[in-house]
Structure 1
Amino acid sequence: MPRGGEAGGGGSRPGTVVVANGDEGDPGSYADRLLMEADPGRVLEGLALACFACGARRGVVLVRSEYPAALARMREAVRRAYADGHLGPSVHGTATSLDLHVVQGAGSYVAGEETALIAGLEGGRGCARPRPPYPTEHGLWDAPTVVNNVETLAAVPWIVRYGGRAYARRGTSGETGTKLVCLSERFARPGCYEVELGTPVRRIVTELGGGLKDGAGLTALQVGGPLGGFLAADALDVPLSEAGLSARGAALGHAGLVAFDGRVAPEDVLRHVWEFAAAESCGACSPCRVGSRRGLEWASSGAPPDQAWERLSRVLTGASLCAFGRRIPPAVHSLARAYGDRLSGWVP
C-alpha cells in the first residue's frame, strides 16, 4: 500500500484506511471464502460503504493465501468496479474518491489478528503488536485503520437497504444479527448455514446438520476453531452467541462447528490443539512461544501436568501479547470438561 491520501468525509482523519479481513484462520470455517468466491461484489460494496462512513479514500481486501479462487474473483470484481466507474479518483463523476486493493495474505493463523495483519501489509513479519496504540489511532503506515471481517462487511449492504432496525430484530437483544455457521464433514448435512445469533447449538447440530453421518454419536463439538472451545454432547443447550458460549468456556469466533465421534480418542484431540497452538504461534511473546511448546510436550507424553499446567495456564492468560495465547487455556479446559475423566488432569 502506498503512503498518503486524504480522508474524504467529515470528521475523519487524514489517510484513514478500511481493511476487509479475509484471512480466515479458523480451520473449521469457510464462510469468508464462500462470500468472496460467490459474491465478491457484495463484499466490495460493504467495504466501500464502510469507507464512505469513515471518510476513507483507501480500502484493502486481504485474502487468505490458501484461497486462490477467492483471490482471483476479488481481483476481477475490483477490476470491473473500476471499469464501471464505482471506484477511482472521481466515482461516477462526483467529488468522491475511492481506491480499493486486493492483497494476498501471509499464510499463517496469527497473520489474521489485526495488528499482525497490518504489519504484514506494511511488508513486515505478521506478528502481533502491543496495544495501545490501537489501529484506529495508529494503524497501517501510522494512519487510522479500521479492520473488519469479510462477513461483517458483507452484511452492510443489506443493513443499508433495509435499515438497522430490521437487522437488529434478528438475533438477541445483546447480540443482534445473523452468523454464518460452517458444519464439518462428519455431519449428515455438512455445509454453511446462516442462522440468527442466539439459535440453540443443539438445533444447529440436529436439525440443520442432521446429526452425524452413519448414525454416529457425537462425543465433543469444537466451536470457533481449535482455540475456540469444546462442548460435550450433553451440553449443547446453549445459544450460539458470544455470551452464551463464553459462559461454557468456549468462544464464538468464526463459528465453525467440527464434530468428533467415538472413533477419535480424546488424547488425539488434545494433542491436535497443542500442535495447532505450537505451529501457529507467531513467537512474538515468550508465554505463547514457550508455553505452547511445553504444552505439546505434556500432551505428547500422555502425563497429566497438574500443578505445572495450572501455573502455565495463569501465565498464558495473563501475559500473552494477543488473544491467541490467552485463548489456549480456556480451549484446553473446555476440552477436558467435554471429555471428563479421560482428561481430568487438564481441568483447573
Structure 2
Amino acid sequence: MIAVSLPSSTPEPTQVPVLSRYWDQPESWTLRNYLQQNGYQGLKAALRMTPDEVIGLVKDSGLRGRGGAGFPVGTKWSFIPQGDKPGGTGTPHYLVVNADESEPGTCKDMPLMLATPHTLIEGVVIAAYAIRASHAFIYVRGEVAGVVRRLRTAVREAYDAGLLGRDVFGSGFGVDLVVHAGAGAYICGEETALLDSLEGRRGQPRLRPPFPAVAGLYASPTVVNNVESIASVPAILRNGADWFREFGTEKSPGFTMYSLSGHVTRPGQYEAPLGVTLRELLERAGGVREGHELKFWTPGGSSTPMFTPDHLDIPLDYEGVGGAGSMLGTKALQIFDDTVCVVRTVLRWTEFYAHESCGKCTPCREGTYWMVQMMRRLEAGDATEDDLTTLLEITDSVVGKSFCALGDASGAPITSSLQYFRDEYLAHFPHDGHPGGCPFDPSKATVFAGGAR
C-alpha cells in the first residue's frame, strides 16, 4: 500500500465547469493530479458520516440520474435494504456503473473516464459505502479499449493507495471494484440486460418486478447508475447539497454535460447548469456551420423526439424538454442543418434500432423490421400517402407494447419527424414530373444511402 496524503479541501466556486474543470491539464487522469484538485476529499467526508446520512445528503442535493430517465439518485440508493453494515456479511449488495454508452449522439461518459477516471472511482466508493456494498462493477463498452485500459490503470492506482480494497482510509470499510468490458450490444445499455450480460448470459431485458434494488446482480439488491451520475457525487460530498442546488433549476438542480455533435462549428462536450437553452449552447459552440441554418435537432439522442428551430429557447432540463414533447435523455444534442433529408436520417436511425433489437419480444423484433421496410419505400419514393398511415400503425404496434424501452425509442424519430416534416415525406413521392425519391441534391447532403459523410 502506498501512503496517500490528502491536501486540505478548499471551497469550490459555484460555477461551471465542475466535472470537466481539469480535463485540459497534463496527465489529468493520474491519481497524483487528481489529489491536487481536491480528489478523494468527498470520500473522506463520506466516511465521517453514516451510510444513511450520505444517502440523505444526496437526496437533499436533488441529483437526478444522468443516464436518461432522470430518476433521483438518492432515492434509488434508498431502495436498497439498509439493515446490513457496509461491507458486512449479510445479504450482499452490489453497485453497477452503466458505462455502456451507446445511444447515437451520446459521447459524454467516455471522455470523462478518459480525462478524470478517479472522479468516477471516488464516486463509486462513496456510493458503495452508502448502499453498504462491498463489490462494485463498471460495465464499459468493449469497443473503447483505450477507456478500459485507462480505467483499469486508475483502479490499480487506487488499490495501491488504499483507496480501494479491504480498509479504505483505515475506516474498516472495504470495497472491490471490477472494470468489465462488454461485447458492444446496444441493448446492454438497458440496466437489466446489462446485469444479464455481467453475469455471463446473453444481454436481454428482464421482466420487472422484481426490480434490481430487490433482485439485481446475482439475485441480490443492486443499484445501477450512469457514469455521470456517480461522478457527480464527490463534489456534492465536498461542498454540500446547498452548493449543488445553486446550479440548475429547482426541480432539475446541478450541472451536466451536453454533447453537441453534427453541424456545429465546434462540436464537443459543453458543461452547463441544467436549464440552459440550445441557443445559448450554440453561441458557445460557434453556431451552426457557416452558410447553413438549423433544420432539426435531438435533445437527448436519436431515441428522443426531435425538435425544430422553434424549440431553441426550451430550457434543457427534465421538465422543460418534457413539457415540449420530448425527453432530455442523455443530453445528446445532434444538430442537423438544411442540407439533411429528414426521411433519410430517420431511415438510418430506424435501421439501427432494427439491427440492435435483441429479438426477445415480438412487437420489437417484427415491428422494427417492418418499420425499416416502410421507411425504405418512403425514402425511395416508391410509396403513397396511405403508406404513411400504415407506417404510423406499425409504429403504434411497437411503441408501448414491447418488453423494454428500445421499442419506444424506435418510434420516436418516426412520429416526431411526421409531426414536423410531413411535407418532406410527401415530397419524396412522384409529383409534378418528379419521378419520386429523395429531393435533396446528393452532392450536398451529409446523410446518404451509403453512410454518413
The alpha carbon displacement at 1:7 in A equals: 5.4
Please give the alpha-carbon distance, in whole angstroms, between the structure 2 residues aligned to 1:259 and 1:140: 38
Q: Which residue of 1 aligns with 2:440?
A: none
Please give the alpha-carbon distance, in whole angstroms, between the structure 2 residues aligned to 1:97 and 1:195: 34
Which one-letter code corresponds to 1:72 in the other structure? R
Compute the RMSD of aligned alpha carbons.
Answer: 2.1
Greater CA deviation, 84-93 or 111-120? 84-93
The alpha carbon displacement at 1:185 in A equals: 4.2
Residues 11 and 241 of structure 1: CA distance in aligned 2, closer, same or farther (over 3 Å): farther
The alpha carbon displacement at 1:125 in A equals: 0.7
Which one-letter code corresponds to 2:419 in the other structure? R
Q: Which structure 2 residues correspond to residues 259-278 of structure 1 after superposition, within 5 A?
A: 259-278=335-354
Please give the alpha-carbon distance, in whole angstroms, between the structure 2 residues aligned to 1:276 and 1:13: 43
Are 1:342 and 2:418 an aligned pair?
Answer: no
Query: Per-residue displacement from partner, 1:155-211 (whole Å, max 9, x unpaired)?
Result: 000000001121122111111112201111421121101111111222222x12221
Tell me the secondary structure at the aligned position of residue 315 of structure 2: coil
Please give the alpha-carbon distance, in whole angstroms, between the structure 2 residues aligned to 1:11 and 1:164: 28
The alpha carbon displacement at 1:13 in A equals: 6.4
Residues 267 and 307 of structure 1: CA distance in aligned 2, closer, same or farther (over 3 Å): closer
Please give the alpha-carbon distance, in whole angstroms, between the structure 1 residues aligned to 2:408 and 2:151: 33
Greater CA deviation, 330-339 or 192-201? 330-339
The number of aligned residues is: 339
On the 8 A contact 1:249/1:334 being kept in 2, the answer is no
Query: Per-residue displacement from partner, 1:191-240 (whole Å, max 9, x unpaired)?
Result: 101111111222222x1222112231111112222112211122222111
Are 1:168 and 2:279 an aligned pair?
Answer: no
Unaligned runs of 5+ in 1: 1-5
Are 1:291 and 2:370 an aligned pair?
Answer: no
Which structure has the greater CA radius of gyration?
Answer: 2
The one of 96, 99, 118 aligned to 1:41? 118
On the 8 A contact 1:19/1:145 being kept in 2, the answer is yes
Residues 12 and 306 of structure 1: CA distance in aligned 2, closer, same or farther (over 3 Å): farther
Please give the alpha-carbon distance, in whole angstroms, between the structure 1 residues aligned to 2:87 and 2:144: 36
Q: Which residue of 1 aligns with 2:254?
A: 177
Are 1:152 and 2:234 an aligned pair?
Answer: no
TM-score (norm 2): 0.71
Q: Which residue of 2 aligns with 1:237?
A: 313
Tell me the secondary structure at the aligned position of residue 194 of structure 2: helix
The one of 130, 137, 147 aligned to 2:214? 137
Please give the alpha-carbon distance, in whole angstroms, between the structure 2 residues aligned to 1:204 and 1:344: 33
On the 8 A contact 1:288/1:320 being kept in 2, the answer is yes
Please give the alpha-carbon distance, in whole angstroms, between the structure 1 residues aligned to 2:208 and 2:97: 20
Q: Which residue of 2 aligns with 1:313?
A: 395
Q: Which residue of 1 aligns with 2:34?
A: none
The alpha carbon displacement at 1:296 in A equals: 0.4
Please give the alpha-carbon distance, in whole angstroms, between the structure 2 residues aligned to 1:152 and 1:33: 13
Tell me the secondary structure at the aligned position of residue 240 of structure 1: coil
Q: Which structure 2 residues correspond to residues 101-250 of structure 1 after superposition, within 5 A?
A: 101-205=178-282, 207-250=283-326
Which one-letter code corresponds to 2:389 in the other structure? Q
Identity among equivalent pairs (%) = 37
Tell me the secondary structure at the aligned position of residue 201 of structure 2: coil
Tell me the secondary structure at the aligned position of residue 238 of structure 1: coil
On the 8 A contact 1:201/1:236 being kept in 2, the answer is yes
Which one-letter code corresponds to 2:307 in the other structure? L
The alpha carbon displacement at 1:314 in A equals: 2.9
On the 8 A contact 1:7/1:56 being kept in 2, the answer is no
TM-score (norm 1): 0.92
The alpha carbon displacement at 1:80 in A equals: 0.8
On the 8 A contact 1:226/1:273 being kept in 2, the answer is yes
On the 8 A contact 2:84/2:90 being kept in 1, the answer is yes
